[in-house]
Amino acid sequence: MVKLGVDATFWMDDKYEMRFLGLCEKAGFDSLWFGDHFLPWHHSFKHNFFVWPVLAAAAERTKKILLGVDVTVPIGGRYHPAIIAQAMGTLDNMYPSRFLLGVGTGEAMSEKRFMGRWPPWRERMERLVEALDLIKKLWSSRDYFDFDGKYFSMSKVYLHLKPKKSIPIYFSAIGEKAATYAGKYGDRLITANTLENCRDKIFPAFEKAAAEAGRNPRRIEKAVLLEGAVVDIDKTIKRIKRIHAGATIMENFNEEDPRKIEESGLRLSDEAIRNYYLLYEDVDDLIDHLDQFRKIGANHLIFTDFSPRPEKTIEIFRRKIIPYFKGG
């Protein structure tokens, strides 16, 4: 059965009360996710919160919904991988079996300031793979150990607060090359892509690499981030331009200034916004689109809602979308 999640990053308000938490849990969502950025994608979206206390607060205010970060970047910029291992270990000891760890190679806007330079993609991927090796050793080693990698070295290191149970690592992949790495090194896949790209490129590359690594691709979770809205479409388009549209332009992953990213998004036409985002006046059309992802093998669908009224979106999912996928 497919899991349904929601990314609540763009629902944050000035008081960070997160009133949507209880609504999401009561609606029946399986997971709730938050992004992790030092600077926001757009200067006009000022809620560049530190995700780790937000995750703890969300766990304290809910009972069982899974909580994920999509995604953090342990490549030695903002975060050393040992810090991520410690953060997740601490959270899991406080709220066992509640957390999901998404990891990726990052964007210049959040990482470059901490690294002094912005490494090319291949180096960032190598750093990420090595970081996961260190994280897993910290989670599993029963004694002090030395780690001597190409990018990270630690002597006599040990993590006391180990996860009580295994924390699944979702490996972010936007392109085919990253999907191959995800199949080799990730516990699960997380991607933000079109139906066609998932079907023809991302999923095949991921499954091939997973099989070559000796794993059964059919038993590995494939999560897809889908962005859009089902209410107030005209207002949502204006909001998307102001707070997110520039994130759809691949060149902006190497742009360090959120103001420039925002300017590029504001230049996109309404038609371009409608073509990229899932913006539906009819809920049945959204259900059909989501169902097409399920049919090609996606088994965790995570919806990022950009509408100005999240409570209405949550209610639509509760009444129509979640029952459709859960058989209620």
Q: Which residues carry out catalysis?
A: 37, 107
C-alpha span between 309 and 235 (Å, rounded): 10
> Residue 43: left if φ>0, alpha if ψ -120 to 50, beta else—which one?
alpha
User: Shortest CA distance to 288 belongs to which of 248, 324, 326?
Assistant: 324
C-alpha span between 204 and 217 (Å, rounded): 10
Contact 103, 171 (CB under 8 A): yes
Axis crossing angle, helix 203-212 with helix 176-185, rounded to the nearest 10: 30
User: Shortest CA distance to 70 belongs to which of 227, 239, 175?
Assistant: 227
C-alpha span between 313 and 6 (Å, rounded): 10
Please state, in angstroms and as integers, the Cα–Cα distance from residue 140 to each residue in 89, 134, 184, 188, 215, following that order.
11, 10, 19, 19, 20
C-alpha span between 96 and 110 (Å, rounded): 29
53-83: b (≥16 Cβ within 10 Å) or e: ebbbebbeebeebbbbbbbbbbbbbbbbbbe
Backbone angles phi, psi at 66, to 5 degrees: -75, 145
Pairing of strands 3-7, 31-34: parallel
Contact 223, 207 (CB under 8 A): no
Element holding 90 (H helix, E strand): helix 81-94
